[in-house]
Amino acid sequence: EAQVTQNPRYLITVTGKKLTVTCSQNMNHEYMSWYRQDPGLGLRQIYYSMNVEVTDKGDVPEGYKVSRKEKRNFPLILESPSPNQTSLYFCASSLGALNTEAFFGQGTRLTVV
Amino acid sequence: GNSVTQMEGPVTLSEEAFLTINCTYTATGYPSLFWYVQYPGEGLQLLLKATKADDKGSNKGFEATYRKETTSFHLEKGSVQVSDSAVYFCALSESAAGNKLTFGGGTRVLVKP
């Protein structure tokens, strides 16, 4: 089954404690991205990757890091989480060509206290 | 920059009612337009898309027409069901440098029996 898998689904952490949210896709997609979803703001892109070892900032990259060492994996790293990073996070992948469908993971609800 | 504006919810309807969700966009070029749907506890799924002016996207009884003259992509369904209760996102994609989606704020739809 074609899917994007994120882990964990739920996470509560304290300010400043480094964390990683994993994302894996099994569709051999080149393009992967991370979004955060906040009420009334829709989804905003954090970072994206067009292929292995190629990453770039989206609209709201501050406080986040990513890496793309393998085609299937695209982890999101919060080196020093803060309460304003409390949000619902989605990983997405697509073939990479313009206009193709993006496939989303089920989301990770992060609370930073 | 690009932006998408959609009507705020929640929209509450009775089963078999007609649904319209307005969406307008601002883009510098010629974007592709999408509607994504998010069911409770799940990630986003592509509902329909249109890639050029006057195209009509359709799926599961939903329709939307790409109107360049009014920069709109309104979603319609003639007879909603309880199972259509979800959050609907209008989005556009324009950048050839990466399949970035720019989302509207989302519209929650609740269909009552």
**Is the per-residue pLDDT at B69 higher than 50?**
yes
* C-alpha dihedral sign at B45, B7, B102, A46: negative
Where does the pLDDT of residue A20 fall: very low under 50, low under 70, confident under 90, or very high at 90 and above? very high
Secondary structure letter of residue A86 according to DSSP:
-
Contact of A33 with B97, CB cutoff 8 Å: no
CB contact under 8 A, A104 and B44: yes
Question: What residue of B is the nearest CA neighbor of A98?
Answer: B99
Rounded Cα distance between B87 and A7, Å, is 23
Q: Which of A42, A97, A101 sits opposite B103 (nearest CB)?
A: A42
Looking at every residue in chain B, the average pLDDT score rounds to 92
Where does the pLDDT of residue A99 fall: very low under 50, low under 70, confident under 90, or very high at 90 and above? low
Rounded Cα distance between A88 and B66, Å, is 30
